[in-house]
Amino acid sequence: MAWRSCSVLCRLIGGDPFLCSVKGGRWPGGFQQHCSFKKASRTPEPKQPEGPRLQNQAPCPPRSPAAPRAFSRLVRPFLFTVGFSGCSFGAAAIWQYESLKSRVQSYFDELQADWLQKLRPQKRGDVRKEINQWWNSLTEGQKTVAGIIVANVLVFCAWPLVPLPIMLRYFTSSPASSALCVPMLLSTFSHMSLFHLAANMYVLWSFSSSAVSMLGREQFLAVYLSAAVTSSFSSYLWKTATGRYGPSVGASGAIMAVLALVCTKMPEAKLAIIFLPMFTFTAANALKAIVAMDTAGLLLGWRFFDHAAHLGGALFGIWYILFGHELIWKNREPFVKLWHDLRTRSGGGPGGPGGAV
């Protein structure tokens, strides 16, 4: 039943290849979670309560148009965006430090594994060997986004299995929802149609190699997660300003950041549409067209896409590759030094307590 409801919702909101939002700013039918999601009817008619359990329940009064537009509700999402982004870059810096620290040990482990593999008799049709060969043939960027793709697929499969109220509460983002912060991240791993999921993951896979080669896997993941919550906050801001509170799902805000930073860094790169490979255009022109389309969508009130999230992600990607890399990533040395001192004092060095890295 839940799967059928999700399918109906997808048909109502359209096949969005990026970030889809509920058309008209409302959940269809039984998807209205709270009174705050409903719009006051122009000609309200009194209704008789149905069933004995509703006899003593007061009707939900219509909310005035100015009441939901309380920008004070965005303080917590803003702090969550800043705090989560800072933690993402901090964790990425620590991850890179630990990776460099263990690189020598990993090198000797790989030599030992290769030696043991030569002694071990080879099996014909070994599935694990074929999987390893396929994995080793991938680029560093493709290996990095493989985990993101798996997470998106798992959340997509959870829609018909997990109770629908839980999925709507935590895996769709809306400034009118009772849960504000956690859905800003979880909704960027959520898709409600197979085409929506496949299109987003294809674009992410296509740009992953270029992005990771420029940033490295640690910095790339920090940028991706930060762009995810930043695009959600941009959506919150626009919905609060316009009074349209339709919930949104999809990874396109974060993917737009990846696309924007690659197109900004390599503006002369040639791109093509998958279904029209004969038409090519530069990355700079593609980025301008996408930003122009989303800007027009905001000004003209289009509701098929979450244009605010698209623009938020794209602007974050452009800002990061032009200024953020210098301001954030290249100034991580004091934080890494602090982590190194803590590891040294706690005996985390290879030489035991007080060992040097």
* Active-site residue list: 252, 310
Each residue of 264-298: b (16+ CB within 10 Å) or e?
A: bbeeeeebeeeeeeeeeeebeebbeebbeebeebe
From the CB of residue 123, how many other CB atoms can be counted at a distance below 10 Å? 9
Of 287, 258, 256, which is closest to residue 271 (Cα–Cα)? 287
Give the C-alpha separation, 135 to 147, whole Å. Answer: 13
Backbone angles phi, psi at 20, to 5 degrees: -100, 145
- H runs (alpha helix) in 122-251: 127-137, 140-158, 164-170, 182-186, 194-215, 217-242
Give the C-alpha separation, 89 to 86, whole Å. Answer: 5
Tokens of 327: 């301001």
Q: Which residues contact 174 (CB under 8 A, 6 or more apart)?
A: 37, 183, 239, 245, 246, 247, 248
Give the C-alpha separation, 43 to 131, whole Å. Answer: 63
DSSP string, 212-249: HHHH-HHHHHHHHHHHHHHHHHHHHHHHHHHT----EE
